[in-house]
């Protein structure tokens, strides 16, 4: 007796059972492919919605930037010296003449003192950020170490 295939079953499966297994495997494959397609579509839809939201927000930002620029232009126009002078005249103000100004001398008052908030340049240098040990070269460090070693009792023994 010669065995061609050692893995042959003792009996053949029923044809309906083979068709059921093949059908089940086919349905599992279709289900997995459907799941992958569903995930890809979901991610694509969310990405496109985010892109549209970004476009809408960018357009709103541009509108707001233009409105802010317009308002700043209006403020600059309304606070210009010529416009402020016209408003002052309309409100009844007039430029002060020398005879309209009254100076009062207050005994003991030395006048307005100037306030210096920053030291003069170069007077107060900032502290060094590096320690002196880090600004020393390797050869200098070795030389100092050799000097310290030679100064110790016993130093360099000959």
Dump pLDDT digits (tens) for 63-119: 999 999 999 999 999 999 999 999 999 999 988 888 889 988 889 888 888 887 777
CA–CA gap between residue 145 and residue 151 (Å, rounded): 10
Contacts of 149 (CB under 8 A, 6+ apart): 155, 156
CA–CA gap between residue 156 and residue 158 (Å, rounded): 6
CA–CA gap between residue 17 and residue 30 (Å, rounded): 20
CA–CA gap between residue 80 and residue 74 (Å, rounded): 10
pTM: 0.43
Domain ranges of the chain: 15-88
């Amino acid at each position: 007796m010669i065995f061609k295939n050692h893995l042959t079953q003792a009996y053949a499966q029923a044809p309906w059972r083979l068709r059921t297994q093949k059908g089940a495997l086919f349905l599992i494959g279709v289900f997995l492919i459907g799941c992958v397609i569903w995930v890809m579509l979901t991610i694509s839809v969310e990405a496109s919605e985010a892109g549209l939201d970004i476009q809408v927000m960018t357009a709103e930002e541009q509108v707001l930037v233009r409105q802010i620029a317009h308002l700043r232009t209006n403020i600059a126009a309304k606070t210009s010296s010529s416009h402020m002078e016209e408003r002052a005249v309309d409100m009844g103000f007039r430029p002060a003449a020398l005879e309209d100004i009254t100076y009062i001398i207050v005994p003991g008052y030395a006048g307005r003192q100037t306030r210096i908030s920053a030291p003069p340049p170069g007077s107060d240098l900032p502290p060094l950020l590096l320690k002196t040990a880090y600004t020393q070269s390797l050869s200098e460090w070795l030389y100092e170490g050799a000097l310290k070693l030679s100064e110790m009792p016993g130093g360099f023994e000959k």
